Amino acid sequence: MSTNVSGNSGFWSRFEERVAPYNLLQHPFYQAWSKGELAREDLREYAAEYWHHVSAFPTYLSALHSRLPDGEMRREVLRNLTEEEGVDAATARPHSDLWMDFAAGMGASRNEVKGRAVQPEMTALVATFRELMQEEKASSAMAALYAYESKVPAIATSKADGLAAHYGTDGVAAKYFTLHQTADVAHASVWRELIDQQLAGGSAEDEEAALNAAERAAKALWVALDGVERQRLSVAN
């Protein structure tokens, strides 16, 4: 799929305004990460918590894929899904396994991660994305995915840099982040083009629904980190 670099500039300007308050790089937990202020225990707890969103992400894509009509849009969603599940190339691995490598590098066992009783905010994050995949307009579901994946490369870069600089962690334990410095650039490009196609000639109501979905997704991601940070501070105190 070719990348549409023009699109609906007015819509995308409003999009960025709506998600800007939830810039995860400004969240206190990620700020502490980039400054090396987290203990490895904090990173271990975060890794175990956030795996549940990472592992659920393919199910969001699957839910969207299953409701789309036959055509290129459905196939684009499937391409993203197969990459997430690690079945697009002989040497690929599921992204949730790459995250599990990060958790293991922080000292968490697989059973500990999978059996974790997650914070209410993480439960709400997964539920929110699953709800958003059922939005009446596919453009709204894709706007939620774009709100997430378009921000991942910068976040992944910051995380990888912080792990290397402050925690002596790179290689296998950081592979999830080094991969996503580039992988989600392509994903976000596809979502953006598909959204432009869906909204072309559409109504103002369709655009507003997409903006609302994007804001809900961005806010849910921020609030999930609030849960992680609350737990960190409660342990510290």
What angle, rounded to 10 degrees, do the helices at 40-67 and 95-105 form?
Answer: 170
Yes or no: say if 46 and 40 are a contact pair by the CB < 8 Å rule: no
Q: List the domain range (segments joined by +) for residue 162.
A: 46-236
Give the span between the Cα atoms of 43 and 90, in whole angstroms: 31
| Ranges 24-28, 177-181, 230-234, most confident | 24-28
CB-based burial label for 45 (10 Å; 0-12, 13-18, 19+): buried
In the chain, pLDDT over 90 holds for what percent of residues?
89
What pLDDT is attached to residue 88? 67
Residue 152 forms part of a structural domain: yes
pTM, two decimals, is 0.94
pLDDT tens digits for range 36-77: 999 999 999 999 999 999 999 999 999 999 999 999 999 999
What pLDDT is attached to residue 144? 98
Structure tokens at 92: 């690929």
DSSP type of residue 203: -
Residue 64 forms part of a structural domain: yes
Number of domains observed in the structure of the chain: 1
Give the span between the Cα atoms of 211 and 204, in whole angstroms: 11
pLDDT tens digits for range 134-179: 999 999 999 999 999 999 999 999 999 999 999 999 999 999 999 9
Residue 17 forms part of a structural domain: no
Residue 169: HSE in the Cβ half-sphere, 13 Å Cα cutoff:
25
Burial 129-148 (b: 16+ CB within 10 A, else e): beebbebebbbbbbbbbbbb
- CATH number, residue 85: 1.20.910.10
What pLDDT is attached to residue 89? 64
Give the span between the Cα atoms of 148 and 175, in whole angstroms: 19
Residue 92 forms part of a structural domain: yes
